[in-house]
Structure 1
Amino acid sequence: MSELLQSLSYSASGMQAQATRLRHVSENISNADTPGYHRKLISFQEQLDSGQVTTGPVSLDQSPLQSTYDPSNPLADDTGHFDGSNVDLVTEMADAREAQRSYEANLRIFDQARTMTLSLFELLKR
C-alpha cells in the first residue's frame, strides 16, 4: 500500500519539476528579443532520502550573445552592433516539447497509481 502512495508522491514531484522547467522555457522564449538576455538553464536533482525529483538552481547560459547589426538601435556601439540574446527558439521549442511529454508521462503514472489505490480500497471494503 505504501508503495502506491509513494508512486503518487514521486510522479507529483516529477510533474512539479517539469512545470518549473516549462516556466523557464517560456521565460526564455518571451525574452528571445531582449538585448543582453542570457538563456536560463535548469537542472534536476533526486532527493536521495525521499526519492523525489526537485529542480536545482537556475543558471544562466554563458554561451556568447548574438551580435546584431542595427545602427539605429540606441544600444548599438560605434560599429552599429549590439548584443542580442543567446536564446535559440528551435532549442527552446524542443525543450518545451520534451518537458510536456515528461509531464504527461508523470501524469499517466499518477493516474494509474491513483486508480490502483482506489481499486485496492474497494477490495478492502468488501
Structure 2
Amino acid sequence: MSDLQTSMAIAASGMRAQSTRLRHVAENIANADTPGYRRKTVSFETEYGGSGKVRTGPVQLDRSELKTIHDPSHPLADEQGFYKGSNVETVIESADSREAQRSYEANLKMFDQARQMSSSLLELLRK
C-alpha cells in the first residue's frame, strides 16, 4: 500500500507544480500589454530525500529586452514618442499553457490509477 501512496504523492506534487506554472502563464498573458512588464518563468526542482516529488523553484523574471513601442500619445512615451512594452510573447505563453495542461492531466491520470488500484486492493482484502 505504501508504494501506491507514494505514487499518489508524487503525482499530486506534479499537479501542484503544473498549476503554479499555469498561474504564472495566465499572469503573463494578462499583462502582455502592460508597459514594462517582464515575463515570469518558474523552474521545477526535485524535493530532497529522493522521494521523487517535484516542486517549483523561485520565480524568475525574463531578462530579455522589452519591446520598444512608438506611440507619441501614450502617457509613458518619451520625447521621441517611444516607451517600453512587455517582453511577453503570447504564442510562447499559449504553448507553455498547453504543455502545462497536458502534464497536469498526465499526473491526474497517474493519481487516479493509483487511487483505483488502492481501492481495488482494499476490496480484495475485505473478502
TM-score under structure 1 normalisation? 0.98
State the AA in 2 paired with 1:48. Y
The alpha-carbon deviation at position 56 of structure 1 amounts to 0.2
Q: Give the secondary-structure state (helix, strand or coil) at the position aligned to 1:87.
A: coil
Aligned to 1:60: 61
Runs of 4+ in 1 over 4 A off after TM superposition: none
Q: CA deviation at 1:79?
A: 1.1
Deviations 1:28-65 (A, max 9, x none): 00000000000001000001313211000001000000
Correspondence 1:95-106 to 2 at 5 A: 95-106=96-107
Structure 1: runs of 5+ lacking an equivalent:
none
- CA RMSD in angstroms comes to 0.6
Secondary structure of 1:5's match? Answer: helix
Q: What CA distance in whole angstroms lies between the structure 2 residues aligned with 1:54 and 1:114?
A: 22
Partners of 1:115 and 1:48 lie apart in 2 by: 28
Shift of 1:78: 1.2
> Is 2:51 the partner of 1:20?
no
User: 1:81 maps to what in 2?
Assistant: 82
Partner letter of residue 54 of structure 2?
V
Q: TM-score, normalised by structure 2?
A: 0.98
Instruction: Give CA-to-partner distance per residue, 1:79-98, whole Å, 9 cap, x none.
Output: 11100000000000000000
CA distance in 1, matches of 2:108, 2:20: 15
Shift of 1:20: 0.3
Q: C-alpha distance in 2, partners of 1:66/1:82?
A: 8
Flag structure 2 segments of 5+ consecutive residues without an equivalent. Answer: none
